[in-house]
Chain A
Amino acid sequence: MSDSLTIINSNELIRIAAGSLVYVSSSGNYSDIYTRDGERRTVTMQLGMIEELINKQLQESDREFIRIGKSLIVNLRFLHYLNPSKKQIILSDNSTFKISLEASKEALKQLKDYIELKIK
């Protein structure tokens, strides 16, 4: 178990600290990985494979990631705002970045219910 995610393909190795990984979005057979420093890295991997790596590699304490539909994996520690009716989710560290993403109303409603349940 590790506190960082390591992605290896035929050309490169990418290591990202769990706390720096903000979200991953799907782009067909590719995934775009966004980190706190504003970097975007594209890897030749489907989102499901990234999910599998997160599941396998990261320690449970570092694993606050959630798959939202077919296209997104977000780090819940950066969840700042959620509005299912607007289909909007905003990720932020409340100082350096604020990213607005779109997901389905139903998925975001489930996410809201999950977080509500978790804090009760």
Chain B
Amino acid sequence: MMHFDDISDNEIRIINRQEAPRRPFYRRWWFWAAAVVIAAVAVVVIFGLSGKARQTAETPQPGEVSEVESTPTSPTEVVHEPAYVISSDTAVNDVPLTLYTPVNAVPELMIGNPSEKDESIVLAVQAADIRADNREILGSYVLKGELVSRGGGKKDGFCAILGGDIQLGVAENTDLFEKAIETGGYFFRQYPLVSEGIMIDNKPKGKTLRAALCELDGRMVVVRSRDDESFHDFAQALADLGVNFAINLVGSSHAYGFYREKSDDGSTVSSSWGKLHTGAKNSNVNYIMWKARD
């Protein structure tokens, strides 16, 4: 079994023709699989025996009436945990940020404006930019497997949503674009802000409210600046926050979005920012949004 990724940052490996490094047995999958099976068998045996003993002790004697409780079950019914967003404020390098973490929700893209009244949507943020000249979406864009826009722009950052999982990256060409088309997924392009924990500088220098889609500690998080920031300061703040990958989302005070938090009584309450973009010239306004599971 080859394990070419089995290396730490503090190690080197000479690449020569030899058997690939072998993991110690306790780092091999079969060791843990066997351990789990053995543990499961042990649990079944122990509980089986004790259950049998208890059953023997509780077996009604002739003439006694046994009470049997039964709970109606519905094996086909799947109940999902309610979806909501956890928002939290922080500041990094004097850049005030708000983090929005969707919980029990799946991401997708949409073109057009989402309705804040739709309680299944727990977070919606404008995703890809719109070209000023023809009002088309800038860069490649795939909506549920359908190619909406291809190429254009110089934005190497991308977000692919395949099977409900978001993958962020920085690349001129990526197979994930084709995969999104083949598998009914989603794809859009944006400025990259952070790659492998390193901040990426972008040309636009102006200051405005910024937003980003980030991979932070293995979770997908939307981060918004609460003040006007330059690309540089915003990206640096994200990198210093510990973000692994981040791409830009549509910012400025005009960008619209909303999120739904849990209230004290267990229901959810929505809050929004910016203003809705309506009219024919905004027909391609688009969002990344997280919805409760069906």
Contact = CB atoms under 8 A, between A and B. Distances in A.
B15 A67 contact: yes
B176 interface: yes
Contact of A60 (B3, B4, B17): B17
B195 A27 contact: yes
A28 B9 contact: no
Majority DSSP secondary structure for residues of A touching B: mixed
Contacts, number: 97
Q: Considering residues A27, A47, A114, which has the most beta carbons from chain B within 10 angstroms of its beta carbon?
A: A27
Interface in A30-56: 30, 42, 44, 46-49, 51-52, 54-55
Given A30-B174, A52-B4, A66 B9 contact: no
Is the contact region of chain B dominated by helix, strand, or loop, or is it mixed?
loop
B144 to A, nearest CB: 21
A114 B175 CA distance: 38
**Interface size grouping (class) on chain B:** 20 to 34
Contacts of A11: 173, 175, 178
Contact of B12 (A29, A44, A47, A68): A68
25 contacts: A9-B175, A12-B173, A27-B171, A28-B168, A29-B167, A30-B169, A42-B173, A42-B174, A44-B176, A48-B5, A49-B4, A51-B15, A52-B20, A55-B16, A66-B14, A66-B15, A67-B12, A70-B7, A73-B15, A103-B9, A107-B9, A107-B10, A107-B11, A110-B11, A111-B12
